[in-house]
Amino acid sequence: MTNAARAEALVRALRAGIDGDLETIRTLVTDDVRAWTPVFSTGTVDELIDALEDRNDTFSDPDLRTTPHDVGGDFACVEWVVEITHTGPLTVGPQSVIEPTGARVAIHGITVAEFHGTRICSIRQYWDENEVLGQIGLLGP
């Protein structure tokens, strides 16, 4: 598999995750895929699917822009920006919920994936959660 093909598969996985296309996720990852993000960690495809399904309706209208990077070996790396609208309650603690603000926010991040053959076996995703909180007005100037 070429670097470009790995990057394209990772972009497809990112889009599928945002769109809730869980069947595409299943075709792109191994059964024992390990995933880590700032909000969840999983060790199987079923756990990954459950984590993606558990996302609530806090944000809507996603617009994903990606920039794949040329890397070697069995890895792919994609920088991304997703713009979303805060349209549902956001739980930030056991007894703290932020009501929808209608704010359009942009989150900048990067995803690194390792491949086993043509399928993703490991995903690490990084972004700053405070970037979101600041844009919806929870953090001071």
Q: What is the dihedral of CA 101, 50, 93, 123, to 10 degrees?
A: -90
Strand order in the sheet with 119-127: 41-42, 29-36, 119-127, 104-116, 75-86, 59-69
Per the rule left: phi > 0, alpha: psi between -120 and 50, beta: everything else, 61 is left
Token pair listed for 13: 């996985």
Residue 99 is given by DSSP the state P
Report the helix count and the strand count for the chain, using DSSP H and E.
4, 8
Mean pLDDT of the chain: 91
pTM exceeds cut of 0.85:
yes
**pLDDT digit string, tens, across residues 114-124:** 999 999 999 99
Taking Cα atoms as reference points, which of 106, 63, 77, 90 lies closest to residue 8? 77
Residue 100 is given by DSSP the state P
**pLDDT digit string, tens, across residues 35-65:** 999 989 999 999 999 998 877 678 899 999 9
CA 73-40-72 angle, to 5 degrees, is 10
Query: Which segment of 53-57, 68-72, 78-82, 104-108 scores lowest on mean pLDDT?
Result: 53-57
Domains of the chain: 3-135 (3.10.450.50)
